[in-house]
Amino acid sequence: MLTLFKKIFIWWNQETIGTKIKTILFGKFVGKDNLGNKYYESKNGKRWVIYKDEIDASKIPVEWFSWIHFTPNKIEKKHDLEKYDWQKPHQHNLTGTEKAYYPNKNKNVSEKKYKTWKN
């Protein structure tokens, strides 16, 4: 019962019933990324994504970011972009999590690199 309630009313928990119906009736499946997100396009050119887990726009990898924003480039024709050895894998926004970047995490915050001109 709770799962049905989540599907009907909670938009940030994957897709709602309205999105599901729109996808079934008007969506043409375009592809799926390595995170499990599915990408759809309608006949009139509208594009949308169905996220695998919690909805977060930073979870769209670079291969699909240009497609969803109508930016024409070589990725548009080929969604399996060749990655180089030096490229890091896509990582969504980690702000507010334990894995977030803190620049002064290991340093003493009270230690300053400059001297103030007032005493």
Contacts of residue 1, defined as CB under 8 A and 6 or more positions apart, other chains included, come to none
Contacts of residue 62, defined as CB under 8 A and 6 or more positions apart, other chains included, come to 75, 81, 90
What is the reported pLDDT for 101?
Answer: 79
pTM of the model: 0.60
What is the reported pLDDT for 38?
Answer: 92
What is the reported pLDDT for 6?
Answer: 64
How many other C-beta atoms are found inside a 10 Å radius of the C-beta of residue 38?
17
What is the reported pLDDT for 14?
Answer: 65
- Give CA–CA dist 17/49, Å, rounded: 15
Residue-wise pLDDT tens for the chain (119 aa)?
Answer: 666 666 666 655 667 777 888 888 999 999 998 888 999 999 999 999 998 877 888 888 887 888 888 887 655 555 556 777 888 877 878 888 888 877 766 655 556 677 778 76
* DSSP output for 1-16: -HHHHHHHH-TTSS--
What is the reported pLDDT for 55?
Answer: 80
What is the reported pLDDT for 67?
Answer: 85
What is the reported pLDDT for 44?
Answer: 92
Query: For residue 82, what is the DSSP state?
Result: P
- Give CA–CA dist 99/22, Å, rounded: 36
Q: Tell me the angle at which helices 17-26 and 2-9 cross, rounded to the nearest 10 degrees.
A: 70
How many other C-beta atoms are found inside a 10 Å radius of the C-beta of residue 67?
21
